[in-house]
């Protein structure tokens, strides 16, 4: 038998799919807008080695983010790459957790799973704070930042913080919605304040994201694909002889 759930939490959980639908609709418009712009055609004869084609260049470009040795900035500063990975894994996990926590909290109820996720959230939270501080204190970053840049970053940091707090309640929530027996968990007590805050924050986050810089991941595949197509067609991607380039 489950616990009583605060009606506010219940309301938030049951409205989540509408919020997701809203986000999806805005994204659909965004993608339509991108596709309305015609892509330029490259008339030059293909150049480069056999493995350097428009297609191979596009795929290489798309996945170059997973190959930090192909991006000189990350090659020179590997810690920047480490924090980039941690932060993005953390954000992706938070989004996934929103859905899993709401509909299948039982999957998150094992203490080991919770511990691992909390470690990632903690690391992501620290990285987020560092990134926010860098944006505030570095003169260049400050000059190029808009209110949206600060707000988006702060929002993510706070949201990840709440995710850290809430994940621990997955077993109790699973009991509350009847997916787990109370005897299988150490505590069935739901701490409702962070849970309510988390859900409303999540709802706000999902509504805000399509209008903010956080939506860059919608542009990412298009931008990298087209850039890679050109670079592949002209014999630049995949990069040759990276081994001989050396960082400075």
Partner 1 sequence: MGKTRSYKAQKVVDLMKAKTKSRQIMLSLESCVKCGQCIDQCHYVLANPDDPTFAPPYKADKLRKFFKAHEDWTGKVIPWWVGARSIYTDEELEELKDVVFGKCTGCRRCSLVCPMGVDMATFNGMARNLLYSVGIMPEGVWAVAKDQWEIGNQMGVLKEDYLDTLEWMEEELQSKHNDPSIKIPIDKKGADIMYTINPREAKYDPRSIADAAEIFHFAGADWCMPSEGWDMTNFGLFVGDPSLGAAASSRLYTAAQELGVNKVVISECGHGYRSTKCEGPNWAKMDLDFPMESSVITMLDYIKQGKIKVDKSKNSEKVTYHDSCNFARSCGMTEEPREVLSLVCSDIQEMYPNRQWNYCCTGGGGAMSMSEYAPMRLKSAKIKAEQLRATGAKIVVTSCHNCVDGLTDLIKHYNLDMKVTQLVNLVANALVVPASKMPKVMKEVSMPLAGKKILVIDDEPDVRIFLTKIFKENGCEVFEAPDANQGMRIIRDKNPDLVSLDMILPHKTGEKLYWELRKDEKYKKLPVVIVSGYTKIDDPKIDFDAFLEDKGIPAPQGFVEKPIHPDVLIETISGVLLEKV
Stretch that binds partner 1, among 7-15, 69-77, 113-121, 161-169 (CB under 8 A): 69-77
* Interacting residue with partner 1 among 28, 80, 133, 207 (CB under 8 A): 80
Binding mask 131-150 for partner 1 (x = CB under 8 A): ---x---xxxx-xxxxxxx-
CB of 143 to partner 1, least distance (A): 5
**HEC string for 28-41:** HHHHHHHHHCCCCC
Residues in CB range of 148: below 8 A, 6 or more apart: 212, 213
Q: Considering the complex, state which of residue 67 and residue 158 has its C-beta at the smaller distance from partner 1.
A: 67
User: Other CB atoms closer than 10 Å to residue 28's CB: what's the count?
Assistant: 11
Q: Considering the complex, state which of residue 20 and residue 71 has its C-beta at the smaller distance from partner 1.
A: 71
CB 2 within 8 A of CB 176: yes
* Interacting residue with partner 1 among 32, 38, 79, 112 (CB under 8 A): 38
Q: Considering the complex, state which of residue 53 and residue 102 has its C-beta at the smaller distance from partner 1.
A: 53
Burial of 3 (0-12, 13-18, 19+ CB in 10 A): middle
Q: How many residues bind partner 1 (CB under 8 A)?
A: 60
CA distance 237 to 55: 10
Question: Given the structure tokens 């709802």, which residue do they identify?
Answer: 203
Whole-angstrom CA distances from 117 to 59, 90, 123, 147, 177 are: 31, 9, 10, 30, 22
Q: What is the DSSP letter of 81?
A: H
Alpha helix segments (H runs only) across 37-110: 54-63, 72-76, 78-103
Radius of gyration of the chain (CA): 22
* Interacting residue with partner 1 among 1, 32, 40, 183 (CB under 8 A): 40
Segment 47 to 66, residues that bind partner 1, using CB under 8 A = 47-48, 52, 61, 64-65
Stretch that binds partner 1, among 89-97, 109-117, 160-168, 225-233 (CB under 8 A): 225-233
Q: Considering the complex, state which of residue 144 and residue 193 has its C-beta at the smaller distance from partner 1.
A: 144
Segment 192 to 221, residues that bind partner 1, using CB under 8 A = 211-213, 216, 219-220
Contacts with partner 1 by CB under 8 A lie at 34-35, 37-45, 47-48, 52, 61, 64-65, 71-74, 80, 84, 134, 138-141, 143-149, 211-213, 216, 219-220, 222-224, 226-228, 230-231, 234-236, 239-241, 244-248
């Amino acid at each position: 038998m489950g616990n009583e759930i605060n009606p506010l939490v219940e309301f938030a959980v049951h409205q989540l799919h509408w919020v997701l639908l809203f986000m999806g609709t805005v994204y659909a418009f965004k993608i339509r807008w991108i596709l309305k712009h015609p892509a330029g055609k490259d008339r030059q004869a293909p150049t480069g080695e056999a493995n350097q084609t428009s297609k191979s260049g596009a795929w290489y470009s798309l996945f170059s983010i997973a190959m930090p040795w192909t991006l000189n900035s990350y090659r020179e500063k590997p810690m920047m790459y480490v924090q980039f990975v941690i932060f993005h894994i953390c954000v992706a996990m938070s989004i996934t957790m929103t859905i899993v926590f709401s509909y299948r909290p039982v999957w998150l109820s094992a203490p080991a799973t919770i511990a691992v996720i909390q470690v990632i959230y903690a690391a992501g939270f620290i990285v987020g704070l560092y990134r926010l501080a860098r944006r505030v204190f570095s003169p260049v970053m400050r000059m190029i930042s808009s209110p949206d840049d600060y707000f988006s970053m702060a929002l993510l940091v706070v949201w990840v913080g709440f995710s850290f707090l809430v994940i621990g309640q997955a077993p109790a929530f699973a009991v509350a919605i009847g997916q787990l027996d109370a005897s299988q968990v150490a505590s069935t007590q739901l701490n409702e304040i962070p849970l309510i805050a988390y859900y409303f924050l999540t709802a706000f986050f999902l509504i805000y994201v399509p209008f903010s810089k956080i939506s860059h991941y919608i542009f990412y595949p298009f931008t990298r694909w087209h850039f890679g197509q050109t670079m592949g067609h002209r014999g630049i991607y995949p990069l040759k002889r990276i081994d001989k380039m050396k960082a400075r």
